[in-house]
Copies of this chain bind each other. A is one copy, B any other.
C-alpha cells in the first residue's frame, strides 16, 4: 500500500483540511496516510471525524514544532528540525513513506525537502511544477515556478526532461509537447538564457515545440512550459492576482442594480462551473521535481479536496516510479560501439 507522509500542520486551515483530506484520500484512493503533526491537535481533529475515519489506514506521527507562513525558508529549515515538514521528510528519507505532501509555507517546504532528501544524481536543481487551466480543457504545466532563480541553460534542459516525465505519468499523454517560455516564437527571440536553452532543447529526444509566449500558457497548444524560476513565479503570481481582480470586479459589476443582480442569481450555476475551471484545488498541488523522494506542495488555502488531490498526485508519482524515469532520461546512454581493428 502506498504510504503518504502528510504535513498535517501545513496549510492555512491545518489540521482541519489535512485530516479531512487524508480521510477522503484513504477512502477513495486506497492509500495509507501518516498524519505528521502535533499529536494532541491532530488527535482531536481526527476524533471529530471518528465515524468517517473508522477502519481507514490513518496514523498519527508526532512532530513537536510547526513552521508558519511567516518563517523564512532557510531559518525554518535550520531551526525547526522538529517541525511536521522535517519529520515528514525524514519518514520519506528513511523509506517509511513513499511521498511527502504539504500545504505549508512553500519556500520552507522546498528547503526542507531539498536539504533533507537531496537531489537525484542526474539533477543539479529541483524545480517546482505548477498547473494552469487552458482553453482546450487540458492542463498545461509550467516549471520552474520558484524553486530556483538565475538558472543556466543546462538547468532548463533538466526541467524540460523532468516536466515531460511528470506530464506523461500524471496526464497519460504519450509524447507531451514541451516548449520554452520566451517573448517571441522565433528561435532568436528571447534573452541569452532562452537562446542557449533553445539550442540545447532542439537537440534533445523530446517533442520540442520551440518557443511560446506568455499568452500560450492558457491556450493549450503545448503541455509543458519551461522557464527560469523567477519568471515562472512572476507568471504564477500574476495569474493569481488577475483571477482575484476578476472575481472582485465581476462581483461588483453584478451588484450594480436589481436587473444585474437577478441575472447573477440565474447564472449562478454558470459562475460556479466557471470558478471550478480556475480552482487550484482540482489540480493536486505542485510537485517539487528532482529531489530524492516524491514531494508535492499544495496551496496554503487548500481545502480537503485539494489535500486529497495532492495526495493522489503524490501516490501516482510514487507508483509510477517517476524519479527512476527521470534518472533514466537524464543519464547519458552509452551505445555499445564495436571497435573494428584497423588493418
Contact = CB atoms under 8 A, between A and B. Distances in A.
Interface in A175-227: 181-184, 186, 190-192, 194, 213-219, 227
Contact of A239 (B135, B242, B267, B270): B242
B270 A256 contact: yes
Nearest to A142: B238
Interface in A260-302: 260, 262-271, 273-274, 277-278
Interface stretch (A39-47, A50-58, A228-236): A228-236
A234 B214 contact: yes
Contacts of A230: 182-183, 190-191, 194, 231
Contacts of A249: 133, 135, 274, 277-278
Interface in A27-41: none
B264 A270 contact: yes
Contact of A214 (B133, B190, B237): B237
Contacts of A171: none
Given A233-B183, A253-B270, A253-B273, A217 B238 contact: yes
Contacts of A236: 214
A267 B254 contact: yes
Nearest to A265: B263
A320 interface: no
Given A183-B146, A217-B241, A245-B133, A260 B250 contact: no
Contact of A215 (B150, B186, B237): B237
Contacts of A277: 249
A324 interface: no
15 contacts: A133-B249, A149-B183, A183-B229, A213-B233, A214-B240, A215-B241, A216-B241, A231-B231, A238-B239, A239-B242, A246-B246, A253-B273, A254-B270, A259-B269, A263-B266
A136 to B, nearest CB: 10
A234 B233 contact: no
B260 A233 contact: no
Contacts of A182: 230
A246 B278 CA distance: 9
Contacts of A194: 230
A248 interface: yes
A263 B267 contact: yes
A266 B260 contact: yes
Nearest to A148: B191
A254 B219 CA distance: 20
B256 A269 contact: yes
B274 A250 contact: yes
A134 interface: yes
Given A133-B245, A218-B242, A234 B237 contact: no
A331 B201 CA distance: 44
A244 interface: yes
